[in-house]
Amino acid sequence: MVKAVETGGIKRILDLGGGSAAYSIAFARAVAGLRSEIVDLDDVVPLTREYIRQAGLGERVTVRPGDMLRDPLGENYDLILILAICHMFSPEENHALFRRAFNALAPKGRVVVQDFILEPSKTAPRAAALFSLNMLVGTKAGSSYSEPEFAAWFREAGFADVRRVQLPGPSGLMIGTRM
Protein backbone atom coordinates (compact mmCIF):
# COMPACT_ATOMS: atom_id res chain seq x y z
CA MET A 1 0.00 0.00 0.00
CA VAL A 2 2.68 2.50 1.00
CA LYS A 3 4.62 1.90 -2.22
CA ALA A 4 1.48 2.13 -4.36
CA VAL A 5 0.53 5.50 -2.88
CA GLU A 6 3.90 7.22 -3.46
CA THR A 7 4.76 9.04 -0.25
CA GLY A 8 6.79 12.00 -1.54
CA GLY A 9 5.55 15.24 0.04
CA ILE A 10 3.22 13.57 2.54
CA LYS A 11 3.51 15.07 6.02
CA ARG A 12 -0.05 14.74 7.41
CA ILE A 13 -2.49 11.86 6.99
CA LEU A 14 -6.10 11.50 8.03
CA ASP A 15 -7.03 7.82 8.35
CA LEU A 16 -10.83 7.49 8.37
CA GLY A 17 -12.08 4.40 10.16
CA GLY A 18 -8.50 3.27 10.66
CA GLY A 19 -9.29 1.40 13.88
CA SER A 20 -6.46 -1.14 13.79
CA ALA A 21 -3.97 1.69 13.08
CA ALA A 22 -2.18 -0.72 10.72
CA TYR A 23 -1.97 1.66 7.77
CA SER A 24 -1.16 4.76 9.81
CA ILE A 25 1.61 2.80 11.54
CA ALA A 26 2.96 1.53 8.21
CA PHE A 27 3.03 5.03 6.72
CA ALA A 28 4.64 6.49 9.88
CA ARG A 29 7.35 3.82 9.79
CA ALA A 30 7.99 4.40 6.09
CA VAL A 31 8.09 8.22 6.10
CA ALA A 32 10.25 10.06 8.62
CA GLY A 33 8.38 12.84 10.41
CA LEU A 34 4.98 11.92 9.02
CA ARG A 35 2.03 12.44 11.37
CA SER A 36 -1.24 10.56 11.09
CA GLU A 37 -4.57 11.15 12.77
CA ILE A 38 -7.10 8.34 12.93
CA VAL A 39 -10.82 9.03 13.27
CA ASP A 40 -12.99 6.14 14.37
CA LEU A 41 -16.03 5.40 16.49
CA ASP A 42 -15.95 5.77 20.30
CA ASP A 43 -16.01 2.01 20.92
CA VAL A 44 -12.95 1.45 18.72
CA VAL A 45 -10.69 4.26 19.99
CA PRO A 46 -9.32 2.52 23.15
CA LEU A 47 -8.14 -0.47 21.12
CA THR A 48 -6.64 1.84 18.47
CA ARG A 49 -4.70 3.71 21.15
CA GLU A 50 -3.31 0.41 22.43
CA TYR A 51 -2.09 -0.61 18.96
CA ILE A 52 -0.40 2.78 18.56
CA ARG A 53 1.21 2.47 22.01
CA GLN A 54 2.51 -1.03 21.18
CA ALA A 55 4.02 0.32 17.96
CA GLY A 56 5.79 3.07 19.91
CA LEU A 57 4.35 5.78 17.67
CA GLY A 58 2.18 7.73 20.10
CA GLU A 59 3.99 10.98 19.25
CA ARG A 60 3.22 10.67 15.53
CA VAL A 61 -0.01 8.66 15.27
CA THR A 62 -3.02 9.95 17.19
CA VAL A 63 -6.65 8.94 17.36
CA ARG A 64 -9.86 10.79 18.07
CA PRO A 65 -13.43 9.57 18.32
CA GLY A 66 -15.74 10.67 15.56
CA ASP A 67 -18.20 9.79 12.84
CA MET A 68 -16.62 10.34 9.44
CA LEU A 69 -19.99 11.13 7.89
CA ARG A 70 -20.97 13.81 10.42
CA ASP A 71 -18.17 15.12 12.63
CA PRO A 72 -15.57 17.71 11.54
CA LEU A 73 -12.65 16.08 9.74
CA GLY A 74 -10.10 18.87 10.03
CA GLU A 75 -8.17 20.50 7.22
CA ASN A 76 -4.92 20.69 5.27
CA TYR A 77 -4.18 16.97 5.13
CA ASP A 78 -1.79 15.75 2.44
CA LEU A 79 -3.41 12.32 2.27
CA ILE A 80 -6.73 10.92 3.42
CA LEU A 81 -7.15 7.17 3.66
CA ILE A 82 -10.59 5.62 3.22
CA LEU A 83 -9.72 1.95 3.44
CA ALA A 84 -12.26 -0.88 3.44
CA ILE A 85 -15.03 1.59 4.25
CA CYS A 86 -17.02 2.51 1.13
CA HIS A 87 -18.69 -0.89 0.83
CA MET A 88 -20.50 -0.20 4.12
CA PHE A 89 -22.16 2.97 2.83
CA SER A 90 -24.81 3.85 0.28
CA PRO A 91 -23.87 5.70 -2.92
CA GLU A 92 -25.24 8.92 -1.41
CA GLU A 93 -23.18 8.48 1.77
CA ASN A 94 -20.03 7.79 -0.25
CA HIS A 95 -20.63 10.82 -2.44
CA ALA A 96 -21.01 13.00 0.67
CA LEU A 97 -17.89 11.43 2.24
CA PHE A 98 -15.82 12.21 -0.87
CA ARG A 99 -16.98 15.87 -0.76
CA ARG A 100 -16.06 16.06 2.94
CA ALA A 101 -12.65 14.51 2.24
CA PHE A 102 -12.01 16.95 -0.62
CA ASN A 103 -12.69 19.87 1.72
CA ALA A 104 -10.29 18.48 4.35
CA LEU A 105 -7.35 18.24 1.96
CA ALA A 106 -4.55 20.72 1.33
CA PRO A 107 -4.02 21.74 -2.31
CA LYS A 108 -2.41 18.81 -4.18
CA GLY A 109 -3.62 16.48 -1.41
CA ARG A 110 -4.90 13.05 -2.32
CA VAL A 111 -7.60 10.66 -1.21
CA VAL A 112 -6.89 6.95 -1.41
CA VAL A 113 -9.80 4.51 -1.37
CA GLN A 114 -9.07 0.82 -0.94
CA ASP A 115 -11.97 -1.54 -1.47
CA PHE A 116 -13.36 -4.23 -3.70
CA ILE A 117 -13.73 -2.56 -7.09
CA LEU A 118 -16.14 -4.09 -9.56
CA GLU A 119 -15.88 -3.98 -13.32
CA PRO A 120 -18.55 -1.84 -15.05
CA SER A 121 -20.80 -4.90 -15.48
CA LYS A 122 -20.74 -5.34 -11.67
CA THR A 123 -20.38 -9.11 -12.16
CA ALA A 124 -16.58 -9.32 -11.88
CA PRO A 125 -14.21 -9.88 -10.30
CA ARG A 126 -16.07 -12.70 -8.64
CA ALA A 127 -14.80 -12.02 -5.09
CA ALA A 128 -16.03 -8.42 -5.26
CA ALA A 129 -19.39 -9.45 -6.70
CA LEU A 130 -19.89 -12.06 -3.97
CA PHE A 131 -18.82 -9.57 -1.33
CA SER A 132 -21.48 -7.21 -2.64
CA LEU A 133 -24.10 -9.84 -1.79
CA ASN A 134 -22.69 -9.97 1.73
CA MET A 135 -23.10 -6.19 2.02
CA LEU A 136 -26.67 -6.43 0.74
CA VAL A 137 -27.50 -8.82 3.57
CA GLY A 138 -25.32 -7.30 6.30
CA THR A 139 -25.76 -3.53 5.94
CA LYS A 140 -28.55 -1.01 5.49
CA ALA A 141 -27.32 0.15 2.10
CA GLY A 142 -23.79 -1.12 1.51
CA SER A 143 -22.51 -2.69 -1.67
CA SER A 144 -19.40 -3.24 -3.75
CA TYR A 145 -19.05 -0.47 -6.31
CA SER A 146 -17.61 -0.28 -9.79
CA GLU A 147 -14.65 1.72 -11.00
CA PRO A 148 -16.95 4.12 -12.91
CA GLU A 149 -18.99 4.71 -9.72
CA PHE A 150 -15.91 5.51 -7.66
CA ALA A 151 -14.53 7.73 -10.43
CA ALA A 152 -17.81 9.64 -10.65
CA TRP A 153 -17.85 10.27 -6.88
CA PHE A 154 -14.28 11.56 -7.05
CA ARG A 155 -14.96 13.86 -10.01
CA GLU A 156 -18.27 15.16 -8.63
CA ALA A 157 -16.49 16.04 -5.38
CA GLY A 158 -13.93 18.07 -7.35
CA PHE A 159 -10.99 15.67 -7.66
CA ALA A 160 -8.73 15.53 -10.68
CA ASP A 161 -6.23 12.90 -11.83
CA VAL A 162 -8.55 10.10 -10.74
CA ARG A 163 -6.98 6.72 -11.29
CA ARG A 164 -7.22 3.08 -10.34
CA VAL A 165 -4.25 1.17 -8.98
CA GLN A 166 -4.29 -2.62 -9.05
CA LEU A 167 -3.10 -4.42 -5.94
CA PRO A 168 -2.32 -8.09 -5.44
CA GLY A 169 -5.42 -9.79 -4.11
CA PRO A 170 -9.11 -9.03 -4.43
CA SER A 171 -9.11 -5.29 -3.66
CA GLY A 172 -7.72 -2.27 -5.43
CA LEU A 173 -7.14 1.44 -4.98
CA MET A 174 -8.82 4.50 -6.39
CA ILE A 175 -6.84 7.72 -6.00
CA GLY A 176 -7.91 11.29 -6.63
CA THR A 177 -6.03 14.60 -6.25
CA ARG A 178 -7.32 17.96 -5.12
CA MET A 179 -5.82 20.47 -7.54
Going by their DSSP bridges, the two strands 77-83 and 35-40 should be labelled as unpaired
Assign domain 2-177 one CATH number from 3.40.50.150, 2.60.40.790, 3.30.590.20, 3.20.140.10: 3.40.50.150
CB atoms within 10 A of CB 81: 26
Q: pTM higher than 0.85, yes or no?
A: yes
Domain residue spans in the chain?
2-177
Nearest to 141, CA basis, from 83, 96, 82, 80: 96
Query: Which of the two residues, 38 and 132, has the higher pLDDT score?
Result: 38
Torsion, Cα of 94, 99, 103, 107 (10° steps): 100
Question: Tens digit of pLDDT for each residue in 1-45?
Answer: 999 999 999 999 999 999 999 999 999 999 999 999 999 999 999
